[in-house]
Amino acid sequence: MGRLSGLCLLVLALGLTACAQAPASSTDIPKASTSIRLQNPAATQQPKSKTQDIPPAIAAVRPRVLLDPTVVVGKTTTEIEQAFGDPNLKREDSPAEVWQYLTRECALHLFFYPAKSSEGRLVVRHIAINGRSVASFSDVDRKHCFNEYLRSVGAEEAFIAKKAS
């Protein structure tokens, strides 16, 4: 069971527990006997829609969007640092800078060059992603690696275009 599924089940269980009431005592139960019969139970049931089958806690979870690593191209050093944090390695190769971010399985390399219309401001012009072991160096799923890094630093939505209000 994935971490997200487990979290959703926990939230759902806590929500249901909070809504539960203590069992009624025998003094709270009405003495009169009342029976209700449905004439045609099938006629009174509404057809279920697909959204009714999904518990509210799970229905509120948005599907995960996998971003292409090229979304960082054109971003400034400030924008990258705000989203990704400090790099594991920063190398200066004039006029460029290379920033490296590491995950357990792969390495992200961001190549910054001076922006065409700025006073020394650097922007991402290229991104390279590779595996961290000899066995996975070139076989790593670059898009998955990039998105896992975004998730690990809490920056999943940093590069999703915001809709105009």
Domain boundary among 24, 41, 63: 63
Interatomic CA distance for residues 115 and 75, integer angstroms:
10
> What SS3 string covers 93-131?
ECCEEEEEEECCCEEEEEEEEECCCCCCCEEEEEEEEEE
User: CA 116, 97, 143: angle at the middle one, nearest 5?
Assistant: 90
Q: Which domain holds residue 93?
A: 69-152
Interatomic CA distance for residues 101 and 87, integer angstroms:
5
Strongest mean pLDDT among 45-49, 53-57, 121-125 = 121-125
Task: Tell me the average pLDDT across 132-155.
Answer: 86
CATH label of the domain that carries residue 83:
3.30.1450
Task: Tell me the average pLDDT across 25-47.
Answer: 45
Both 77 and 146 in a single domain?
yes
Confidence of residue 81 (pLDDT cuts 50, 70, 90): very high
Higher pLDDT, 134 or 2: 134
Both 59 and 74 in a single domain?
no
The answer to whether residue 24 sits within a structural domain is: no
Q: How is residue 76 annotated by DSSP?
A: B
Domain count, the chain: 2
Both 59 and 104 in a single domain?
no
Task: Tell me the average pLDDT across 102-114.
Answer: 94
Interatomic CA distance for residues 1 and 58, integer angstroms:
14
Both 55 and 118 in a single domain?
no
